[in-house]
Chains A and B, each alone.
Chain A
Amino acid sequence: MQDLMTVVDWSRWQFALTAVYHWLFVPLTLGLALIVAIMESIYMRTKSTVWLRTTKFWMTLFGINFAIGVATGLILEFEFGTNWSNYSWFVGDIFGAPLAIEGLLAFFMEATFVAVMFFGWKRVSPRFHLVSTWLTCIGASISALWILVANAWMQYPAGMEFDPAQMRNVMVDFGSLFSGIAINKFFHATLSGWVLAAVFVIAVSSWMLFKERNRRFASRSIKVAAWVGLAGIILTSWTGDGSAVEVARHQPMKLAAMEGLYNGHKPQAISAVALLNPNKRWDNNEPEYLFDISIPHGLSILAKHDANAFVPGIADIINGVEINAEGDTINTVSYAQRIAIGKEAQQYLRDYDNARKAADTLAMTQASTSLKETFKYFGYGYLDSVDEAIPPVALTFYAFRVMVIGGGWLLLFFIIVLICIYRNRWMQDSHLMQWICFLTLPIVYLVSQAGWIVAEVGRQPWTVQDLLPRSAAISNISASSVVITFWMFAIIFTILLIAEISIMCRQISRGSKTNFDKV
């Protein structure tokens, strides 16, 4: 068991490492594709060579990021088959279908039109080139859609039935893949890419202003990026609100962890700034926070869109306590009961297996029917205690605050940048403002990664919510083999990141020495 935990832990670290690195490249591709498409559209409208040069410069940086980032996500699929073989079999075509569509349709669409973007300037008509740029942008987003739909299904498995004969979940309703969680996740993640790319463009442009090079080019770029960023952060906040409601509905434990909330109230405040009490457990009477500044009714509004709604805490969820809209306390299924039902479901699966070996069709049908009735809590059968069902509260809690507080700063940042760039010459002349723009670049990456930490750490211990915990999803492989490949990936991805940064910096430096402002 100890070795199994090590394998699970190393496999999780490996998956986290590759996902984090992959997500360094993806949002910049998503957002920069849009910014380049907008710039090329302006060029088509104005026919100004200044805009053509602006478009080509950012398109080159898009190309560098695309080339270095492409296929980094494939590693995650390799890991499914080796480290998480039970999981990859269990999810069946539910997970396979979106990934296959992503590979066949979206990626090829994206790759085809990327070629036209870079090779087609003198070989296709300007209009066709513009269409290709937009299709690259749309293709990248569609590509993200399928990945995020697959991820959302893991958070809220719907539209499938478990078949004990195949030992897989079989898709019965394709439309259910597009749940509220999936739609919000798609827009939230994609729009956050707009925000990240906008900050990237503003930071690079600010460097040119700092160096007093290509000032008109930099100002033009900042204007486009700041508008994209402002639209992006407003829409990201909106979809974040939608995500919170969906999480409250389908993953209340994750919401409770995001808030470090153990005992819910009606109405429930939200802690704006707080320090968690490390000694707090779900079954003791320690205070939740050592220090906190709360906003009354905040979490009720955020999670339920009702200022007086009850929001359950970790202890409430474990004990199966809920308060309905009328204020009556109602009992839901406690975690102890879920574990018992899960173990019962496992017994039905064993019964099915024995009946199958004995070729007893009637017993197979009976076991299958009983399994279907208890399958909702199948995964809880792998837990030995309710404590195992609680995600890491501190990491989820602080990552959520980094995301929200950072997001708040980004909203303010884009407003300030727009005021500075339009109303006076602060942006062009103020080194302080330019420094703020540089420093916001690491912040936006941190915020972007924090969002994924909330989404993925907050849903632990599940690989598929309520159905398959990570301890059951793992393969029987040695920890040492995972350790070796972990460090191998760490080295490969670090080299790729260094290559990205150095090639980008060289290209930006070279670009800054070119006179983009000549008419």
Chain B
Amino acid sequence: MSIINNIWRLYFDGFREMSSLGRKLWILILIKLFIFFFIIKLFFFPNLLERDYDTDEERAQAVRTHLSVPDSPQPFNLDN
């Protein structure tokens, strides 16, 4: 229990007593992660196979169709 408490204190006191540079860097990290995960990933970079198919079997079929008949249009599209 004291180990958990010590770890908690390390982080809690660490953040509380952080320098202005440290705070600035943390704000930068959080803004960056927000942009990456909640804007870029969500709106611009969906995993197309995950989004458009429910099962791995369907995903495999989609890739098989495309790779075995290279000129065939893929059954998924970013504009869907």
Contacts and interface: CB of A to CB of B under 8 A. Distances in A.
Contacts of A503: 21, 24-25
A81 B45 CA distance: 7
Contacts of B11: 115, 119
A75 B70 contact: no
Contacts of A90: 63, 67
B75 to A, nearest CB: 8
B47 A85 contact: yes
Interface residues of A, number: 52
A499 B63 CA distance: 41
B29 to A, nearest CB: 5
Contact of A68 (B28, B41, B47, B67): B28
A475 B62 CA distance: 11
Nearest to B19: A60
A228 B76 CA distance: 51
Interface in B64-80: 64-70, 73-74, 76-79
B56 interface: yes
Interface in B16-72: 21-22, 24-26, 28-29, 32-33, 35-36, 40-41, 44-50, 56, 59-61, 63-70
Contacts of A68: 25, 28, 32
Nearest to A350: B68
B45 A167 contact: no
Interface in A469-511: 471-472, 475-478, 481, 484-485, 488, 492, 496, 499, 503, 507
A79 B40 CA distance: 10
Secondary structure at chain A's binding surface: helix, strand, loop or mixed?
helix
Contacts, number: 131
A367 B56 CA distance: 21
A349 B67 contact: yes
Contacts of A350: 68-69
A64 interface: yes
Contacts of B45: 78-79, 81-82, 485
A227 interface: no
A472 B13 CA distance: 52
A481 B78 CA distance: 8
A13 interface: no
A120 B9 CA distance: 10
A360 to B, nearest CB: 16
Interface residues of B, number: 45
Contacts of A298: none
B48 A81 contact: yes
A125 to B, nearest CB: 12
A78 B68 CA distance: 25
A70 B25 CA distance: 11
A164 B24 contact: no
B63 A167 contact: yes
Contacts of A82: 44-48, 78
B10 A124 contact: yes
A353 B21 contact: no
A471 B71 CA distance: 11
Given A71-B36, A167-B60, A485-B44, A89 B49 contact: yes
Contact of A472 (B28, B33, B67, B78): B67
B78 A478 contact: yes
A63 to B, nearest CB: 7
A186 B35 CA distance: 30
Interface string A339-375: 0000000100110110000000000000000000000
A277 to B, nearest CB: 34
A204 B77 CA distance: 49
A382 interface: yes
B68 A123 contact: no
B21 to A, nearest CB: 7
Nearest to B77: A476
A188 B5 CA distance: 42
A477 B66 contact: no
A285 interface: no
Given A67-B29, A499-B28, A86 B66 contact: yes
B63 A123 contact: no
Contact of A123 (B9, B33, B56, B76): B9
A329 interface: no
B27 to A, nearest CB: 10
A166 interface: yes
Contacts of B24: 503
B79 A478 contact: yes
Contact of B64 (A71, A349, A475, A485): A349
B60 A89 contact: yes
B41 A78 contact: yes
B68 A349 contact: yes
B45 to A, nearest CB: 4
A336 interface: no
A-B pairs, 9 with minimum CB distance: A119-B14, A81-B47, A476-B74, A78-B45, A67-B25, A349-B68, A477-B78, A167-B60, A82-B45
18 contacts: A78-B45, A82-B48, A82-B78, A85-B47, A85-B76, A119-B15, A166-B56, A167-B59, A167-B61, A167-B63, A349-B68, A381-B70, A476-B76, A477-B48, A477-B77, A477-B78, A478-B79, A503-B25
Given A115-B10, A124-B10, 11 more contacts: A67-B25, A67-B26, A78-B45, A85-B63, A167-B60, A349-B67, A353-B68, A484-B44, A485-B40, A488-B40, A499-B28
